[in-house]
Amino acid sequence: MIAALYGSTDASRAADPIKVGFAMQLTGPLAGNGKAALLGAQIWADEVNKAGGLIGRPVELVVYDDQSNPGLVPGIYSKLLDVDKVDLLLSNNTNQTAPAMPTIIQHKRLIMGMFALAINEQFKYPGYFQIQPYGPNGKDSLTRGFFENAIAMNPKPTTVALVGADAEFSKNALDGARAQAKRLGLNIVYDKVYPPTTVNFTPVLKAMQATSPDLVFVASYPSDTVGIIRTAHEINLEPKVFGGAMVGTQYAAIKQQLGEALNGVLSFEQYIPEPTVKFPGIEDMLKKYQAKAAEQGVDVLGYYVPAFVYSALQVLGEAVTKTGGVDQQKLISYIHGNKFTTVVGDIAFGPDGEWVEPRMFAVQFRNIKGNDVQQFTQPGKEVIIYPPKYKSGDLVYPFVNAQKNAQN
């Protein structure tokens, strides 16, 4: 494990720093995501320290590499709290946040989750907050856009296949998909999970293909997402709609890697540069991020994670400033009781620590040409089909036509 300390300045060394601690995937299969998140945090810390710190104290980030291994997480958070004596805590994704929660609850500490799905449904801990826009029912908001658009097709679909990794995030997403299917009266003709170590998806998808589903909903992690999309093309999978909760389609490297293979795929996003999405400050923040991203070898777009990590720290920073310190209960009460203006929009947190109003985008990839990553900075490449407030286009179906139409 490697500790990385950032953010002290000559002007603010006289005061003890406010330490922000977290585990992050700096190596392993999710390292691309973790390094991008860390850069977003560094940008916030640099800005705050140049402005004099928080309540006159410098900010210091204390970061340990969890190696993309949830088993290391409890020990890291014990060290952050008992040895490093950090003042504020961030947590990581779903798989990494869940094992950290018992330690955090035992210490009665505030925790700001960065991209975890439905964690507090299990713990119901008042000191937990979540910066991703899942809302009070994350399983529903992550899956509703996919199904709301699919059920509006003519003729309406009647069957759905569900497939995902045997891991916390995917299982939560599949729970949401099952609830949507039940709500809409869809017959689930295939419902399987695969081991996280799977690399050959042909047997899985061929077994699913044999059921002839109208809809195919996939809950996957980055490497799985790439393998499943490529395999879908190789076996000529032809449902009416193909996609789901596919982590990885948000990353610049995977967008570039898959290129035109993404056309027609439905997935989710939290921010993309569509004309219907305008949040004050996000473009300036992303310009700072993108200027540093290439030289550091991290996600060159930064839409998925960095802006939300930056926003999480904006929330914590305001709470510290307004309460005048790092008293955990005062911070928790302040965050529960106030609305925050961030670069990803205005946020108010409900009793469960989730956004009061969900804002998950369901998107369909369109008009992808070749593998130039810069094309994804243009509108019309990821068309928002849900929610209606941010909609920038309609669903194109069936999947085979969506691929062809997108390429014309």
Per-residue model confidence (pLDDT) at position 121: 87
| One domain, residues 272 and 317 | no
Per-residue model confidence (pLDDT) at position 8: 41
pLDDT at residue 407 is higher than 70:
no
Per-residue model confidence (pLDDT) at position 51: 97
* Domain stops at, among 298, 314, 348: 348
Instruction: Give the C-alpha distances (Å, rounded to integers) separating 101 from 148, 150, 249, 326.
Output: 33, 36, 28, 20
| Burial 235-250, CB ≥16 within 10 A → b, else e | eebebbbbbbbbbbbb
| One domain, residues 228 and 336 | no
| One domain, residues 90 and 109 | yes
pLDDT at residue 7 is higher than 90:
no
Domain assignment of residue 354, yes or no: no
| One domain, residues 145 and 258 | yes
pLDDT at residue 100 is higher than 50:
yes
Domain assignment of residue 355, yes or no: no
Per-residue model confidence (pLDDT) at position 1: 39
Per-residue model confidence (pLDDT) at position 406: 58
Per-residue model confidence (pLDDT) at position 29: 77
| One domain, residues 29 and 111 | yes
| One domain, residues 195 and 101 | no
Domain assignment of residue 96, yes or no: yes
| One domain, residues 88 and 158 | no
Per-residue model confidence (pLDDT) at position 13: 43
Q: Which of 388, 387, 369 is nearest to 378 (CA)?
A: 369
Residue carrying structure tokens 């967008």: 255
Q: 353-395 pLDDT, tens per residue?
A: 999 999 999 999 999 999 999 999 999 999 999 999 999 999 9
Q: 186-210 pLDDT, tens per residue?
A: 999 999 999 999 999 999 999 999 9
Do 248 and 363 contact (CB within 8 A), yes or no?
no
Domain assignment of residue 25, yes or no: yes
Domain assignment of residue 378, yes or no: yes
Do 129 and 334 contact (CB within 8 A), yes or no?
no
Do 79 and 105 contact (CB within 8 A), yes or no?
no
pLDDT at residue 105 is higher than 50:
yes
pLDDT at residue 25 is higher than 50:
yes
| One domain, residues 179 and 248 | yes
Under the phi-then-psi rule, with left for phi > 0, alpha for psi from -120 to 50, and beta for the rest, what region is 73? alpha
| One domain, residues 234 and 172 | yes
pLDDT at residue 307 is higher than 70:
yes
Domain assignment of residue 388, yes or no: yes
| One domain, residues 248 and 299 | no
DSSP 120-138: HHHH--TTEEE-STT-S-H
Per-residue model confidence (pLDDT) at position 11: 42
Q: 122-173 pLDDT, tens per residue?
A: 899 999 999 999 999 989 999 999 999 888 899 999 999 999 999 888 999 9
| One domain, residues 144 and 193 | yes
Beta strand pairing call for 266-269 and 361-365:
antiparallel
**Total count of domains within the chain:** 2
Q: Give residue 178's domain range.
A: 138-276+360-407
| One domain, residues 148 and 266 | yes
Domain assignment of residue 269, yes or no: yes
| Burial 290-326, CB ≥16 within 10 A → b, else e | beebeeeebbbbbbbbbbbbbbbbbbbbbbbeebeeb
Q: What is the CATH number of the domain that holds 167?
A: 3.40.50.2300
Domain assignment of residue 199, yes or no: yes
